[in-house]
Amino acid sequence: MSHITILLLYVLAAVAFMASRLPRFASRARPLFFIACIVSATGIVMHGEALLGLVLPSQGFDLSVGNAIALIGLELAVIALFAAIEPTLRGMSGGMMLLAAATTLLMGPSGDATAGVQLAWQVRAHVLVALASYGLLSVGTIVAVFALIQENRLQAARISASNQLFAPLETTEKLLFAVAAAGFIGLTLAIVSGSTFVNDLLQQHLAHKFGLSVLAWLVFGVLLVGRFLRGWRGKRAVHLYLGGYLLLCLAYFGSRLILEQIFGRSWS
């Protein structure tokens, strides 16, 4: 029941955020914004509490794909709420809230027998940091897609009332690089902390995962350096971001799929 409640709160917040940007609701934009903030904040608190109990059962850790995606959804909702402080980003915030709503349907216990196994707090902290950084960079991917859509609409000179739902491209790019910087810091901490738990990369089946993660870290690092030193923007920056994210996806999902489904081994 709580999952449905969270979903409805997010959907309501999304509708209010997007309506506040449409010209026909201009006179009610402020109250709609406040309603959206209150409703989304309530959903975020409920989402966080529900997810915490699922991901951290007792002293174990439930790493189901559904809960990992729901964590990304939680980060989506949080970033959407803060992004909505900038009026031009409220249309995008509404879209992000809808995506966050969809992820709540995937929350639930995985039924994995290893979920209740006790883990040291250092390991639990590392996994949380890794998941949080992956989630942030996933949110950045969604923002990057928004940026590509905006740029294509601008080039095609498409003018309609729905344009109000899109922020200026420069504003969207600023949000993208802010999320990228936060995700890069988290990824750095995850790689450094994770390396302290690895005794033998080959024996623990982690060489491919570690290598791809470091490669993704380098791509994001180059992107951020290029942004701050050379002012990179536009499709080149977005495509580089998406390339780094693809490497990160291969590091986690690709490695896990190959090892568990093909070789019948576990990298964890």
This prediction's pTM: 0.81
Dihedral sign, Cα of residue 245, residue 251, residue 253, residue 257: positive
Number of H helices and number of E strands within the chain? 9, 0
State both tokens at 165: 């739902």
pLDDT of residue 241: 94
Q: Which two tokens stand for residue 216?
A: 């993704």
- Say which DSSP state 157 is in: T
**E-assigned strands of 110-212?**
none
Residue 263: predicted pLDDT: 43
For Cα atoms 66, 69, 75, give the angle at the middle one, nearest 5 degrees. 145
The C-alpha atoms of residue 261 and residue 42 are separated, in whole angstroms, by 39
Q: What pLDDT score does 178 carry?
A: 93
Blockwise average pLDDT, block size 10, the chain, 268 residues: 88 95 86 96 94 73 77 92 92 93 85 56 74 88 87 69 73 92 92 68 56 89 92 88 90 56 45
How does DSSP classify residue 86?
Answer: S
Question: Taking Cα atoms as reference points, which of 141, 40, 147 lies closest to residue 98?
Answer: 40
- Closest to 63 in 3D by CA, of 51, 75, 49, 46: 51
* pLDDT attached to residue 14: 96
